[in-house]
Amino acid sequence: MADTPLDLTSDAAALTAQLVDFPSESGGEKPLADAVEAALRALPHLTVDRYGNNVVARTDLGRTERVILAGHVDTVPIADNVPSRLDEDGVLWGCGTCDMKSGVAVQLRIAATVPAPNRDLTFVFYDNEEVAAHLNGLGKVAEAHPDWLEGDFAVLLEPSDGQVEGGCQGTLRVLLRTAGERAHSARGWMGSNAIHAAAPILRRLAEYEPRRPVIDGLEYREGLNAVRIEGGVAGNVIPDACTVTVNFRYAPDRSGEEALAHVREVFADCGVEEFVVDDHSGAALPGLSHPAAAAFIEAVGGTPQPKYGWTDVSRFSALGVPAVNYGPGNPHLAHKRDERVETAKVLACEERLRAWLTA
């Protein structure tokens, strides 16, 4: 219920249910952010800051390393799946169970129950992750208070099915424009066809062999693909313009600038008239060789997996903090009407993090 305080003495599974029953669709996070802030302020070992509906809490024990545990408190729109429901198999159903109130519950439980961790801890609870990137609360905090996000290593408790997902690939979208000259198609020789001029671009894309680099033991898979093509004026006109939209998903051993230079080079001799960068989000290195990360992998077990899609770990990477995704939900169930999480996995995630931070 949206006006009951959060009870951090209940275990992470029960706390997940409380959080799910506290609706917080993107843009409507304030009541939940208030409740999170109030619950954290009641813990004397934490210093709490707030910026908008983003809450950051930290220990200050003078440890040699600082670890960040981060999660978003918003959900996609509710689909008749709140309040939550726990079935007889220990599966908790409801909006946000998987993405990612189970992860947030684990963060809150660690905040409440590990007052003297072996590494200093920063807990970040942020809003507007499920909507446009410019609204993202983690991005806003990074811009206004980058010092709040200082640390040696960050764990985002996004659903990853209890596996460590390292880094993430970058994504670059460019528009490649070709030019021609309009003419009546009955006298095509009077003009020049911009759609035909795109043929070298398409051939280059079809022949492109993407890399599969191994970084920190993880194999990434790049991809260079046309995702849209636009051209043509009318059924009887030789077109004078054509645009091929190309998406480059690149591994985190390339900087944003290097990725851009690579794409320019690939199409350098393809007759591109105009090259426009439409959208660009950088990659994030997995950083698994950092001592704090290595200790984390050892404590939680399993084989780390590469993250092909773009995630908020990249925002930490941009601040110089290596980051991974590690959370109890199954990512394939995120955003679904029948979204759910196995409570045993939520409890296991809490236990593993506690073991890592108290060893």
Question: Annotated catalytic sites, by residue?
Answer: 74, 129
Q: Using CB under 5 A, which of the segments 44-52, 95-103, 147-155, 274-282 binds Zn ion?
A: 95-103
Least spacing, CB of residue 99 vs Zn ion, in Å: 4
Between residues 71 and 166, which has the closer beta carbon with respect to Zn ion? 71
d(CA 199, CA 275): 16
Least spacing, CB of residue 158 vs Zn ion, in Å: 5
Least spacing, CB of residue 71 vs Zn ion, in Å: 8
Chain residue whose CB lies nearest Zn ion: 99
Determine phi and psi for 225, rounding to 5 degrees: -140, 145
Say whether residue 312 binds Zn ion (CB under 5 A): no
Structure tokens at 35: 């409740």
Say whether residue 339 binds Zn ion (CB under 5 A): no
Say whether residue 99 binds Zn ion (CB under 5 A): yes
Q: Using CB under 5 A, which of the segments 33-41, 92-100, 148-156, 220-228 binds Zn ion?
A: 92-100
Size of the site for Zn ion (CB under 5 A): 3
Say whether residue 100 binds Zn ion (CB under 5 A): yes
Least spacing, CB of residue 112 vs Zn ion, in Å: 22
Q: Using CB under 5 A, which of the segments 51-59, 96-104, 258-266, 337-345 binds Zn ion?
A: 96-104
d(CA 131, CA 285): 24
Between residues 158 and 342, which has the closer beta carbon with respect to Zn ion? 158
Between residues 99 and 350, which has the closer beta carbon with respect to Zn ion? 99
Q: Using CB under 5 A, which of the segments 98-106, 110-118, 241-249, 302-310 binds Zn ion?
A: 98-106
Between residues 20 and 100, which has the closer beta carbon with respect to Zn ion? 100
Least spacing, CB of residue 4 vs Zn ion, in Å: 24
Q: Using CB under 5 A, which of the segments 9-17, 93-101, 112-120, 313-321 binds Zn ion?
A: 93-101
d(CA 168, CA 254): 12
Say whether residue 241 binds Zn ion (CB under 5 A): no
d(CA 39, CA 108): 9
Between residues 158 and 222, which has the closer beta carbon with respect to Zn ion? 158
Least spacing, CB of residue 98 vs Zn ion, in Å: 9
Residues 138-167 that bind Zn ion (CB under 5 A): 158
**Other Cβ atoms within 10 Å of 233 Cβ, number:** 13
Between residues 152 and 158, which has the closer beta carbon with respect to Zn ion? 158
User: Would you tell me which residues interact with Zn ion (CB under 5 A)?
Assistant: 99-100, 158
